[in-house]
């Protein structure tokens, strides 16, 4: 039986619902901003209020408009450096972070497991203190969420979750910005998750309520942390946004045969889309395998996967600016 999460925001948030589309924004003077994120860690969206997440989306749209559309140069991070710890390989996280931080005038420093072994050659406590003395922030893409928690506890600089086995908050920010640009508002959308009960789904669960979005999820019986329904079509029914992700995450390669068997029938196809809302769209955080979604859906005009990928850059830039500076967006603040 489908567990349909229908969650409303508080009364103040419900009164807002206007468009959040970059092309409709008006430039103006810097506005007084009550949200202050400077110096904070971003480990999970659970730790942020709806207004704080909205602020990061607003700032993402502001930077995208000013830099991409107006061609402005904004060296907001000039003189700052970023430590990038990657236990897991990445295309979008690395490129978006390196190019985005550099575009804002900062210096990103990329560290792989050949450069640094968290908790192996040096304790996490010592690593956190060394990095705090040499960089202004750290983005870490790791296996264990507990490693991020220790880094955040011991560091004196912001620690940003670039991905862990539990959460992927910066991906969700990009997803929400993409949906804002397409639909004009997030409130009232139904997100239909079809796939593994993984870090992406966990992050959606921690944040969808704060925008008044509904969540319908289907996961197979494979020992994951969430099992709301086992029927993909039931989860997709009436959904505005069809979402899936990799079935085999890094570190799960030995489970490939078992997982492919468990996910039989979970491929997103036009058959899936037929039961969705008439304005359905499709998201996938990439990289994608054909067994997860077929070409007809993945390359259709309804697919937002490539704008979603680009928005990884603008949202991570907004995260860095909000955690490291006092900058306020120049664009008119959107009403949600």
295-313 pLDDT, tens digit per residue, is: 999 999 999 999 999 999 9
**Per the structure block, which two tokens stand in for 95?**
């490129």
- What's the pLDDT tens digit per position in 205-231? 999 999 999 999 998 875 544 446 889
Cα distances (angstroms) measured from residue 322 to each of 36, 237, 245, 288, 319: 8, 37, 28, 31, 5
Q: Residue 133: is its pLDDT beyond 80?
A: yes
Nearest in space to 86 (alpha carbons), one of 33, 26, 163:
163
Residues with Cβ < 8 Å from 288, sequence gap 6 or more? 246, 298, 305
How far apart CA 143 and CA 43 sit, in angstroms, is 13
What tens digit of pLDDT does each residue of 81-98 get?
999 999 999 999 999 999
Radius of gyration of the chain (CA): 20
pLDDT at 333: 82
Return d(Cα 176, Cα 173) in angstroms, integer.
5
DSSP E strands in 235-313: the ranges are: 241-244, 281-284
Residue of 58, 54, 51 lying closest to 12 (CA atoms) = 51
Axis crossing angle, helix 50-63 with helix 305-324, rounded to the nearest 10? 110
- Whether residue 178 has pLDDT greater than 50: yes
The confidence score (pLDDT) of residue 223 equals: 54
* φ, ψ dihedrals at 64, nearest 5°: -65, -40
Question: Which residue did the predictor score with more confidence, 128 or 15?
Answer: 128
Q: CB–CB of 315/174 below 8 Å? A: yes
Mean pLDDT of 149-156: 98
Average pLDDT, the chain: 88
- 124-134 and 145-154 helices, crossing angle to 10°: 60
Stronger pLDDT, 306 or 114, i.e. the higher one: 306
Cα 119 to Cα 43, 50, 83, 128: the distances in Å are 18, 34, 16, 10
28: pLDDT strictly greater than 60: no
Q: Could you tell me what percent of the chain has a pLDDT over 90? A: 77
Residues noted as catalytic: 285
d(CA 122, CA 100): 29
Among 319, 304, 294, 259, smallest CA distance to 53 is for 319
If one compares 335 and 118, the residue with the highest pLDDT of the two is 118
Please report the pLDDT score of residue 24 as a whole number: 37
Rounded to an integer, the average pLDDT of 258-269 is: 94
Residue 277 has pLDDT above 80, yes or no: yes
3-state secondary structure (DSSP) of residue 294: coil
**Residue 321: pLDDT above 80?**
yes
Does the global pTM surpass 0.85? yes
Q: Stretch 264-275: mean pLDDT, rounded?
A: 97
């560290």: which residue's tokens? 111
What is the pLDDT confidence band of residue 32, given thresholds at 50, 70 and 90?
low
Return the beta strands (E) in 18-95 as ranges: 81-86
Least confident of 103-117, 165-179, 316-330: 103-117
Picking from 248, 216, 212, 218, the residue whose alpha carbon sits closest to that of residue 230 is 218
How does residue 4 score in pLDDT terms, banded at 50, 70 and 90?
very low
Q: What is the pLDDT of residue 12?
A: 30
């Amino acid at each position: 039986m489908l567990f349909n999460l229908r969650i409303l925001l508080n009364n103040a948030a419900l009164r807002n619902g206007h468009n959040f589309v970059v092309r409709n924004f008006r430039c103006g003077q810097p506005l007084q901003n009550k949200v202050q994120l400077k110096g904070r860690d971003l480990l999970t969206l659970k730790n942020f209020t709806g207004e704080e997440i909205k602020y990061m989306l607003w700032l993402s749209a502001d930077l995208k408009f000013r830099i991409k559309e107006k061609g402005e140069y904004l060296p907001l991070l000039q003189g700052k450096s970023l430590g990038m710890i990657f236990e897991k390989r990445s295309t979008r996280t690395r490129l978006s972070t390196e190019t985005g931080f550099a575009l804002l005038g900062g210096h990103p420093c990329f560290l792989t497991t050949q450069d640094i072994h968290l908790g192996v050659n040096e304790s996490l406590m010592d690593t956190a203190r060394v990095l705090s003395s040499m960089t202004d922030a750290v983005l870490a893409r790791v296996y264990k969420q507990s490693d991020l928690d220790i880094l955040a506890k011991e560091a004196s600089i912001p620690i940003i979750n670039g991905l862990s086995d539990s959460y992927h908050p910066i991906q969700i920010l990009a997803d929400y910005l993409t949906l804002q640009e397409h639909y004009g508002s997030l409130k009232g959308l139904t997100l239909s998750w079809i796939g593994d009960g993984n870090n992406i789904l966990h992050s959606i669960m921690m944040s969808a309520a704060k925008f008044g979005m509904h969540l319908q999820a289907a996961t197979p019986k494979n020992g994951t942390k969430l099992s709301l329904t086992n029927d993909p079509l039931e989860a997709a029914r009436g959904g505005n946004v069809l979402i899936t992700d990799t079935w085999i995450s890094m570190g799960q390669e030995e489970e490939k045969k078992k997982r492919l068997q468990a996910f039989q029938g979970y491929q997103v196809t036009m058959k899936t889309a037929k039961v969705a809302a008439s304005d359905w769209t499709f998201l996938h955080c990439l990289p994608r395998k054909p067994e997860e979604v077929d070409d007809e859906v993945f390359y259709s005009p309804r697919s937002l996967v490539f704008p979603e990928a680009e928005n990884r850059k603008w949202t991570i830039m907004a995260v860095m600016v909000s955690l490291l500076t006092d900058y306020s967006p120049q664009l008119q603040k959107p009403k949600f």
